[in-house]
């Protein structure tokens, strides 16, 4: 299992694949770390699966700082990636200042969405000595501009953009990059083109690792689960069962 970001190039070269999961609180961070998950992501999916927001654009720096601190208090070994939320990296100066705040909470690196269009921000973060993880493909923070969550890499133009973004982030020095909702063949192509580890979600199986939103894996957010995410537990069902059993005991004591 991964103990430091410095080991990422070895994983890219020799494997095994990286298993990455999201965490938003202390107990989940601690359990995933103890289970041996390679990297933990305090994702801004927080907004949807924990805070009940309609999308990630309502997630603020204050929310990310609060939850990153909680996760980091539970983690001893796994490097923690913290998301820079919507509108927190409008300029390179903002990007660096907010990335430092997340690092001060105990994150090992920060992630933001975009490629060529945010290159000055990415370069500034890396120049400040902060390890950086990219995120290209379907970008949840752009859902309003895009008019929905759309798979990327279906047209020649989209493929060219993805490859330009991946190369730009790689050349800037990203240690890893999330490839979200990308046609699998294109994710495979990007994985072989870049030095950074690719971490796929809805992008096929050829990436250097996979990331899942933990409530999707655990079945603890029963109202929505993306088609590619296999629930391996039914935490929502088990919660309802335990709560009903408790209520029955309280209301009709033996």
Residues 203-242 that bind ligand KIV (CB under 6 A): 211, 213
The residue within the footprint of ligand KIV, chosen from 187, 201, 203, 218 (CB under 6 A), is 201
**Lookup result for tokens 């296999």:** 230
Q: Is residue 88 part of the contact set for ligand KIV (CB under 6 A)?
A: no
**Nearest to ligand KIV of 43, 114 (CB atom):** 43
Taking residues 122 to 161 in sequence order and writing x for each that binds ligand KIV by CB under 6 A, - otherwise, the string is: -------------x--------------------------
The answer to whether the CB of 124 falls within 8 A of the CB of 96 is yes
In the complex with ligand KIV, which residue's Cβ is closer, 22 or 189?
22
The closest residue (CB) to ligand KIV is: 43
Long-range contacts of 10-13 (CB under 8 A, 24+ apart): 11/38, 11/197, 11/208, 11/209, 12/195, 12/196, 12/197, 12/208
- Of the pair 59, 172, the CB lying nearest ligand KIV is at 59
Among 38, 83, 165, 216, binds ligand KIV (CB under 6 A): 83
- Beta-bridge partner residues of 10: none
Task: Write the binding mask 25 to 64 for ligand KIV: x where contact by CB under 6 A, - elsewhere.
Answer: ----------------x-xxx-------------------
23 near ligand KIV, judged by CB under 6 A: no
Count of residues near ligand KIV by CB under 6 A = 12
3-state secondary structure of 114: strand
Helix ranges restricted to H, the chain: 8-14, 26-35, 46-49, 61-74, 92-104, 119-127, 143-146, 156-172, 184-193, 214-218, 235-251
Mapped onto helix, strand or coil, the DSSP state of residue 82 is strand
Positions annotated as catalytic residues are 180
User: And the tokens for 252?
Assistant: 């009709």
Tell me which residues touch ligand KIV (CB under 6 A).
22, 41, 43-45, 83, 135, 178, 180, 201, 211, 213
């Amino acid at each position: 299992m991964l103990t430091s970001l410095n080991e990422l190039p070895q994983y890219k070269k020799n494997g095994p694949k990286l298993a990455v999961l999201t965490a938003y609180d202390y107990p989940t961070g601690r359990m995933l770390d103890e289970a041996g998950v390679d990297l933990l992501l305090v994702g801004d999916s927080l907004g949807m699966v924990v805070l009940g927001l309609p999308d990630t654009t309502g997630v603020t720096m204050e929310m990310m700082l609060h939850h990153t601190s909680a996760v980091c208090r539970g983690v001893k070994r796994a490097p923690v990636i913290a998301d820079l939320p919507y509108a927190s990296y409008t300029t390179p100066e903002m990007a660096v200042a907010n990335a430092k705040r997340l690092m001060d909470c105990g994150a090992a690196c920060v992630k933001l969405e975009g490629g060529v269009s945010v290159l000055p921000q990415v370069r500034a973060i890396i120049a400040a000595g902060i390890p950086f993880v990219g995120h290209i493909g379907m970008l949840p923070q752009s859902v309003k501009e895009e008019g929905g969550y759309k798979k990327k890499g279906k047209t020649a133009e989209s493929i060219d953009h993805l490859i330009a973004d991946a190369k730009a982030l790689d050349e800037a020095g990203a240690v890893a990059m999330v490839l979200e909702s990308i046609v699998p063949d294109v994710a495979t192509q990007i994985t072989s083109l870049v030095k950074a580890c690719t971490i796929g979600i809805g992008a096929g199986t050829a990436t250097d690792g996979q990331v899942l939103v933990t409530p999707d894996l655990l079945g603890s957010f029963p109202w929505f689960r993306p088609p590619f995410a296999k629930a391996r537990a039914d935490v929502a069902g088990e919660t309802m069962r335990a709560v009903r059993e408790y209520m029955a005991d309280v209301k009709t004591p033996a």
